[in-house]
Structure 1
Amino acid sequence: MKEMLKKALAIAICAGVLAGCAGEEDTIIMAPVPQVDSEFSPKTLWSASVGDGVSNYYSKLTPAYAYGKVFVASRDGEVKALDPETGKLIWEQDVEEEVSARLSGGLTAGYSQIFIGSENGQVLALNEETGELNWRVDVDGEVLSAPATDNNLVIVHTDKGSLLALDQQDGTQKWTISTEVPNLTLRGSSSPVTMSGGVFWGTANGRLAAAIVERGQLIWQQPIGLPQGATEIDRLVDVDASPLVLGGTLYIIGFNGQLTAIDLRSGKPVWKRNYSSATNIASDARRLFIVTEKDHLVAFDARSGTELWSNDKLEHRLVTAPAVIDGYVVVGDSEGYLYWLDPSSGEFVAKQEVDSSGFAVPPVVVPGGYVLTTRDGDVKKLTINE
């Protein structure tokens, strides 16, 4: 179960959800690649690679840009720092020991280090300048999402429902908070987010939790989804998305749950909308963009929660979480296409075929363009502005 392919899991989950209201003959059909009259053709500035990438595993190893470098990693333990202008190698480190590294959560930059989690229940800290392994510690459960950093702590969320705070200097555990994990959950966990002395994260039992960073004191939990239905699959309510903070409002979404805006000062909902997703929310400050469990792209007004548009042309294409790049909404799919959408209308403005291995994570903005990683380990920097 731990090494289930992403595609198989996604199809199984979709099939399970549909089974509650449909017959046995229903199948999940991937939408065809849409025809797009591209208004621009992105230009490749450089190409590199990082091991064998993440292959078909769940691993969410999003590239990180920090300290004037681009950091990338592969599931089998290869970590690299690249020059963002040229793509040339600055350093590389192989953190694999006697068994597969199984890197799966990260990359997060902070305190002059790079932090990565693994399916083996470990958190690693590498020196950002040299790649030297500063420390490696065991934690309670798999680390499937990126850690957060705040108050000289590295905050990690595991699949066992534990939120752990580790000392950034040596990995010593400072505090832990445990939340309930149902018998059946989605493959994934919410990356914690810190703000104004608080840490916020989604839980497998359908809640958004908040705690005080300094001492790990749980202060409130807000329900995002309530289990409903006859089967365990019907009752999945995981909140795997990372909270998104805009000003004084936090936004979160859950699987079989709701897109919810929460006032940070009171912890109370501002508005709720019935949408289901297990991926992160993107924003251009005025609008929110999500990918639903059916791979529909939907935009909302951030202040009111009003739906602005919906695009269903990528249904069941196993698309990544959305990103906002150069004023466009961007997602990648399982067959290696990037799609660029107008944030005002949701119409496609460009389509880019990159690599047939597909994408596990969306592109990341860097100076002069954006960096993407494919499932087979290709790393590319591209630009739409020549």
Structure 2
Amino acid sequence: MQKVFKQAITIALTLGVLAGCAGEEESIQKAPLPVVESNFTPVKVWGHKVGSGVGQYFSKLSPAVGYGKIFVADRDGIVQALEPDTGKVIWSQDLESDITAKISGGITVSYSKVFLGTENAEVIALDEETGEELWRTSVEGEVLAAPLVDEGLVIVNTSRGVLEALDADTGEDKWRLSGEVPTLTLRGDSAPVAISGGVFWGQANGRLAGALMGTGQMLWQQPIGSPKGSTEIDRLVDVDASPVIAGERLFAVGYNGNLVSIDLRTGQPAWKRSYSSANNFIVAGNQVYLITDKDHVVAVDARSGTEIWQNKDLEYRLLSSPVVIDGSVVVGDSEGYLHWLDPYTGEFTAQQKIDDSGIAIPPVKVSDGYLVVTRDGQINKMQMP
């Protein structure tokens, strides 16, 4: 039943229509494309297509950069290593066996391996140099977020609320920590982060949790949001965005919840502000940049939680998470546009059409440019003019 609920809410949110218990429907209107006079136009260095991409599925597969390569994948199981300067394929591996691979969690590169998670409740490790499959382990639930690899462990947060640690060399199960999962949740899970022997992740019950990485012993849980309202949709409180560690603070945001800055030493909030989001966010310098559930782009002072600016001109355009490139805040949208915003004012500085299939993940920075991935699997390496 829970899986059916997840599919239903995903479709509802994607179409932009939420239905209440009494059958009332609220139509959500996507903002028209803003008219922007671009101050610059990035140039395309090379392009490459990996399989069929992710289509309109939830999968938000982001490329990974490491060991002198760019690693990319599509949902059906094609994984490739590319040469950064040319986009030439170094190796290609097809992970599909008897069923579609459904890669959704990943890609993470570490310990000379490429780690991926799947909607088939598997974690897979490949050799980064050859693409050879080294091990494949079943876990407790779908893996929708990128695995964390640290201290010889691969840690995944599954759709069943289980944080599971595997041995990075063998895939052997080391420990599991189960959490509460409400009947109705958003489609997505928080990728765990780590520092100083601790692992931190968001939960579907509206809490941010911390545990000892070596043993899985719970350290603390901090509520980011609490269920409110009369319908199950109103009461969604998932913390699906990955937490961000910046200095001695841990930042987290929840759907129908709050943006919270937490002292890592005590686990107690330093400040809390009312923002609702299920998208990953970033901390750059003294500013937090996030995308709200209405697709407003917001900048918040990381020290105090004071809002600096809010841009509402991209409302309900299904934005990607933000990223900072060459001093600008950049987001992609479902129509395939990249939007560039001034980090201090939130005003548009440039706009660029990339692909009609849409952009679901933020651009990925590389040493001499950035990568833009479209839903149909097109990988473009771009550079600033």
> 1:75 maps to what in 2?
75
* Structure 2, unaligned runs of 5 or more: none
2: CA distance, partners of 1:320 / 1:147: 20
2: CA distance, partners of 1:243 / 1:132: 32
> 2:278 maps to what in 1?
278
* Aligned AA (2:34): P
2: CA distance, partners of 1:9 / 1:38: 34
- The C-alpha deviation readout for 1:46-71, integer Å capped at 9, x for no partner, is 00010000000001111111111111
2: CA distance, partners of 1:295 / 1:246: 24
* Structure 1, unaligned runs of 5 or more: none
More displaced 10-residue stretch of structure 1: 1-10 or 83-92: 1-10
- The C-alpha deviation readout for 1:296-351, integer Å capped at 9, x for no partner, is 00000110110000000010000111111111111100110010100000001000
Would you say 1:49 and 2:49 are equivalent positions? yes
Q: Secondary structure, in 3 states, of the residue corresponding to 2:27?
A: coil
Q: Do the aligned partners of residues 107 and 149 (structure 1) sit closer, same or farther apart at CA in structure 2, a change above 3 Å counting?
A: same
Asked if 2 retains the 8 angstrom alpha-carbon contact of 1:246 and 1:285, the reply is no
1: CA distance, partners of 2:116 / 2:79: 10
Q: Do the aligned partners of residues 302 and 328 (structure 1) sit closer, same or farther apart at CA in structure 2, a change above 3 Å counting?
A: same
> 1:306 maps to what in 2?
306
* Aligned AA (2:40): F
Return the offset for 1:24.
3.3
Return the offset for 1:213.
0.3
> 2:355 maps to what in 1?
355
- The C-alpha deviation readout for 1:345-385, integer Å capped at 9, x for no partner, is 0001000100000012111000110011110010010011x
Q: Secondary structure, in 3 states, of the residue corresponding to 1:104?
A: strand
1: CA distance, partners of 2:310 / 2:351: 18
Q: Do the aligned partners of residues 280 and 14 (structure 1) sit closer, same or farther apart at CA in structure 2, a change above 3 Å counting?
A: farther
2: CA distance, partners of 1:342 / 1:23: 42
* Aligned AA (2:68): G
* Aligned AA (1:93): Q
Asked if 1 retains the 8 angstrom alpha-carbon contact of 2:206 and 2:224, the reply is yes
> 1:336 maps to what in 2?
336
Q: Cα RMSD over matched residues?
A: 1.7
2: CA distance, partners of 1:52 / 1:131: 19
Percent identity between the aligned chains?
A: 56
> 1:241 maps to what in 2?
241
1: CA distance, partners of 2:65 / 2:284: 19
* Aligned AA (1:10): L
Return the offset for 1:293.
0.3
2: CA distance, partners of 1:378 / 1:348: 25
Normalised TM-score (structure 2) = 0.96
Q: Give aligned pairs, total.
A: 382
Normalised TM-score (structure 1) = 0.96
Return the offset for 1:250.
0.5
2: CA distance, partners of 1:363 / 1:238: 25
Q: Do the aligned partners of residues 13 and 38 (structure 1) sit closer, same or farther apart at CA in structure 2, a change above 3 Å counting?
A: closer
1: CA distance, partners of 2:345 / 2:268: 31
Q: Do the aligned partners of residues 290 and 213 (structure 1) sit closer, same or farther apart at CA in structure 2, a change above 3 Å counting?
A: same
Return the offset for 1:283.
2.2
Q: Secondary structure, in 3 states, of the residue corresponding to 1:15?
A: strand
**Correspondence 1:33-182 to 2 at 5 A:** 33-182=33-182
Q: Secondary structure, in 3 states, of the residue corresponding to 2:116?
A: strand
More displaced 10-residue stretch of structure 1: 220-229 or 281-290: 281-290
Q: Do the aligned partners of residues 81 and 224 (structure 1) sit closer, same or farther apart at CA in structure 2, a change above 3 Å counting?
A: same
* Aligned AA (1:68): G
Q: Do the aligned partners of residues 52 and 300 (structure 1) sit closer, same or farther apart at CA in structure 2, a change above 3 Å counting?
A: same
* Aligned AA (2:374): T
Would you say 1:215 and 2:218 are equivalent positions? no
Q: Do the aligned partners of residues 339 and 127 (structure 1) sit closer, same or farther apart at CA in structure 2, a change above 3 Å counting?
A: same
Return the offset for 1:4.
4.6
Q: Secondary structure, in 3 states, of the residue corresponding to 2:11?
A: helix
Q: Secondary structure, in 3 states, of the residue corresponding to 1:144?
A: coil
Asked if 1 retains the 8 angstrom alpha-carbon contact of 2:12 and 2:18, the reply is no
2: CA distance, partners of 1:85 / 1:30: 37
More displaced 10-residue stretch of structure 1: 343-352 or 277-286: 277-286
2: CA distance, partners of 1:6 / 1:233: 8
Q: Do the aligned partners of residues 4 and 227 (structure 1) sit closer, same or farther apart at CA in structure 2, a change above 3 Å counting?
A: closer
* Aligned AA (1:86): T
Return the offset for 1:15.
2.2
Asked if 2 retains the 8 angstrom alpha-carbon contact of 1:283 and 1:324, the reply is no
- The C-alpha deviation readout for 1:226-263, integer Å capped at 9, x for no partner, is 00111111100000000001000010000000000000
Q: Secondary structure, in 3 states, of the residue corresponding to 2:13?
A: helix
> 1:8 maps to what in 2?
11
Return the offset for 1:281.
1.1
- The C-alpha deviation readout for 1:202-227, integer Å capped at 9, x for no partner, is 00000000000011110100000000
1: CA distance, partners of 2:58 / 2:124: 19
> 1:324 maps to what in 2?
324
Asked if 1 retains the 8 angstrom alpha-carbon contact of 2:10 and 2:186, the reply is no
Return the offset for 1:8.
3.1
